[in-house]
Amino acid sequence: MFFAVITLFPEMFEAITAYGISGRAVKRDILQFSCINPRDFAEGNYKRVDERPFGGGPGMVMMAEPLSQAINHARKLAMQAGCVHVPVVYMSPQGNTLNESAVQQFVEYDGLIVLCGRYEGVDERLIQRYVDQEWSIGDYVLSGGELPAMVLMDSIIRKLPEVMSDEQSVVQDSFVDGLLDCPQYTRPDHFEGLNVPEILKSGHHANIEKWRFLQRYQRTLERRPELVDKVELTKQQKKWLKDERGSNNH
């Protein structure tokens, strides 16, 4: 997968290139990652990338010209890497809100060019001409698009088949089948007066699987009831629920 990020703060991206699962994906060359600084394409002694907004008002707007050159450079890099389907994505609160199914769609591309805005955003004409998709990570305002870009990329990277094996989860993640996760426990058996549920120590795998499903279902009902309406349960899961309802009525 190819990622190019257009940002005034390339150092911030060490947070994903140097650490954890995403860091390993970069080191193992599963991920070809580059940052492109629009300042390198700015003109004049001052290398300006922002200007005051037409019409007045507070703050500054990112200029179209250095950004268009940075995006064209990113496209050239993508071509050289043999990547064809590489949409330009702009992170902003005006975009559609990211969710698991959107992330799954991104995994299918050859790569992404992610544009990170600062200040009051970027010149609208740049968006009209260069941006294919606009995405938000949620209804709150940050001071730039860098953290949203990293959120987007991290959510994609951990889904790449070469990055995580099935045993390392993903297939059993929250949301993948529409339910939240079940509670997890590890050693020791006792912690501040709380015990590990006996069933998890029983070694009875079928019972454990049933218990975990019922926990996930119950939690989702309590915490995110709107998600439950959308899940498609398997035959086995429906039977487990029926058994459970039956035993609760006695």
Considering the rule CB under 6 A, would residue 140 count as an interface residue with ligand 4GX?
A: yes
Contact in structure between 98 and 57 (CB atoms under 8 Å): no
Select the residue interacting with ligand 4GX from 7, 17, 22, 92 (CB under 6 A).
92
CB of 148 to ligand 4GX, least distance (A): 4
Stretch that binds ligand 4GX, among 50-58, 69-77, 140-148, 161-169 (CB under 6 A): 140-148
Select the residue interacting with ligand 4GX from 18, 79, 84, 142 (CB under 6 A).
142
Binding to ligand 4GX in span 215-234, by CB under 6 A? none
Contact in structure between 73 and 41 (CB atoms under 8 Å): yes
Stretch that binds ligand 4GX, among 21-29, 143-151, 181-189, 235-243 (CB under 6 A): 143-151
Stretch that binds ligand 4GX, among 11-19, 87-95, 171-179, 233-241 (CB under 6 A): 87-95
- Distances in Å between the Cα of 72 and the Cα atoms of 34, 65, 106, 119, 124 are 14, 11, 21, 22, 17
Rounded CA-CA distance 201/209 in Å is 13
Catalytic residue among 43, 51, 124, 173: 173
Considering the rule CB under 6 A, would residue 141 count as an interface residue with ligand 4GX?
A: yes
Considering the rule CB under 6 A, would residue 148 count as an interface residue with ligand 4GX?
A: yes
Supply 247's token pair.
Answer: 């035993």
Closest CA to 231 of 180, 184, 183: 180
CB of 152 to ligand 4GX, least distance (A): 8
Phi (first) and psi of residue 24, to 5 degrees: -65, -35
Considering the rule CB under 6 A, would residue 67 count as an interface residue with ligand 4GX?
A: no
Whether residue 120 lies in the annotated active site = yes
Whether residue 93 lies in the annotated active site = yes
Select the residue interacting with ligand 4GX from 136, 172, 174, 215 (CB under 6 A).
136
- Distances in Å between the Cα of 118 and the Cα atoms of 52, 148, 149, 190, 211 are 13, 12, 12, 49, 47
Task: Indicate the residue type of 12.
Answer: M
* String of contacts with ligand 4GX for each residue 101-130, x by CB under 6 A: ----------------x--xx---------
CB of 117 to ligand 4GX, least distance (A): 3
Rounded CA-CA distance 112/4 in Å is 6
Whether residue 177 lies in the annotated active site = no
CB atoms within 10 A of CB 103: 17
Rounded CA-CA distance 167/171 in Å is 8
Phi (first) and psi of residue 61, to 5 degrees: -120, 140
Catalytic residue among 93, 110, 181, 219: 93
Residues that bind ligand 4GX (CB under 6 A): 91-93, 117, 120-121, 136-138, 140-142, 144-145, 148
